[in-house]
Structure 1
Amino acid sequence: MNEARHRFALRVYYEDTDLAGIVYYANYLKFIERGRSEWIADLGIDQMSLRAESGIVFAVRRVEADYLRPAVFGDQLEVTTALKLIGGARLVLEQAVLRGDEVLFRAEITLVCMSAAGQAQRVPPAIRERLSAGRVQQR
């Protein structure tokens, strides 16, 4: 596994919480989606251009999630993303949501590279190289 972990900071807003005042469980999926989007962008991959030029998109195929501790309104959180595996058309990522050093949520996400027609497509070599190297460009 590539030990480079991308980090994305976020704050919990009132809209993220439920009646009990804690982050609604489905919002952790939104948080890690933002983390993945920022990770891809920081690697220098423009998903909109990739779709427009080659018809390729990445779709979530599988999520395995563990909810460990609750986050609450006002918390400063960090989403970490790391590439665990890259196959022909598949990526497996490890993601976590942390409050300081405390892990609140952990997930393993399987993404599939797909054509515009919705069929699995091999990850293009240039994209594979960027993902594998884990090079993060400063924006």
Structure 2
Amino acid sequence: METNTENSNVTKQRHGCVTAWLILMIIANSATAILYLFASEMITKNLPGDVSTPMIILLGIIGIGNVIFSVLLLQWKKLGFWGFIITSIGALVINLTIGLGIGQSLFGLVGIAILYGILQIKKDNVTGWENLE
């Protein structure tokens, strides 16, 4: 059986800023999910209109998904990035449905651009994005 020695000897590395951002995303999304799932009354008081419990639960699930996608990115899986795109679109739809303005709702998509930009930071002349499988 042949093995690719060129690939097996190369250790992937990411810039410290990329690692720090991914850890920050894990912490922030964990906190968000906990708030949505366990402090929903506090959240619904500050939102326009009457927000249903299923919508709040769905936003909590999106937060949990984002934690999972952050971990996947730490494990070099490009699936984590695509997962963030899906959850961001889902959050956009939910935010519009519950009555947030278009500006506030679209602001969530900025996170995707920031994540993509951070994944472009190079370590040893290789971007984090290029290391993703």
TM over 0.5: no
Structure with more helix by fraction: 2
TM-score by length of 2: 0.26
Larger Rg: 2
TM-score by length of 1: 0.25
Structure with more strand by fraction: 1
